[in-house]
Amino acid sequence: MRMTQKNKNGVVYLSFPELERIAGLRHLFSTRKGGVSRGEFSQMNFSFTRGDDPEAVRENYRRISEVLGYQGRLDVFVTSYQTHTVNIRRVSVLDSGKGVTRERDYRDIDGLITNERGLVLTTFHADCTPLYFVDEAHHAIGLAHSGWRGTVNDMAGEMVRRMGKEFGTAPSDLVCAIGPCICGACYEVGRDVYDAFEKKWGREELHRYISKEEDRETLETAVFHLSPNLPEGKYLLDLRNANLRNLEKAGVPRQKVAVTNYCTKENPALLFSHRAQGEKRGNLAAFLTLA
């Protein structure tokens, strides 16, 4: 099902109908619209480290807090510290506010999980994939950042397994969502990326997910697209399909995974994209909470 674009108090955001139906759960993916940041950060930037006015960034968080039903409180957020790893941190009330109202005492964390209410898990994006995990049976959630490095190293599977270890989550318990990222038609990568996937997945497995331009049957599931229009040694990588494959390999039923219809690069007025805007941009964010 497609994501829905919504507007609350002037804040424009994206959400998954599949997740909205779950009682006690709130989530969203931010857009550029509805914040107070200016210039290249306009309007809704969530990074304190890219040169934006810190007061503007805090106001952007305050507005998201209002949308999520937390009355503008900033101490509910817990943020990742992303370095393209597959490291995961279980967070608790002791982590409240880290990354927003106080410094984080951890590094190299691209995934967050919790079973506590009142914490807003937060990850940052500008082409890389946000992955949402919800276990209704055990009242647990997870949120992850997965670029090509996280994807080749199976961040999706690591999240499923870690939630199983911490909360007793079975893969079949999960409802998952793959959020806005750069799409397979826009994400050109080099041979080094292709080789990394081949090394991790194995040649035979990877070749099941390669589509040539004329092969229409495999386009829907292809992870790598080959085309004569690409420069030599270049490929088109589909992060959505790669993460979908990883979730299925981890045991999550396909019918329980929602996949975005939004590409960050194709929507520059709505979404930040590193490939479209380079370093002169803000950061989008994914949010997930047990309210």
- Please report the pLDDT score of residue 2 as a whole number: 83
Question: What is the pTM assigned to this prediction?
Answer: 0.97
Report the CATH superfamily, name and number, of domain 4-182+250-290: CNF1/YfiH-like putative cysteine hydrolases (3.60.140.10)
Q: Are strands 88-90 and 111-114 parallel, antiparallel or unpaired?
A: parallel
Domain with CATH 3.60.140.10 in the chain: 4-182+250-290
CB-based contacts of 211, cutoff 8 Å, min separation 6: 218, 219, 222, 224, 225, 226
pLDDT (0 to 100) of residue 1: 59
What number of residues does the chain have? 291
pLDDT by 10-residue block (mean), the chain, 291 residues: 92 98 98 98 97 98 99 99 99 99 98 99 99 98 99 99 99 98 96 98 94 68 88 95 98 98 97 95 98 91
Sheet holding 88-90, edge to edge: 88-90, 111-114, 140-146, 129-135, 174-178, 257-259
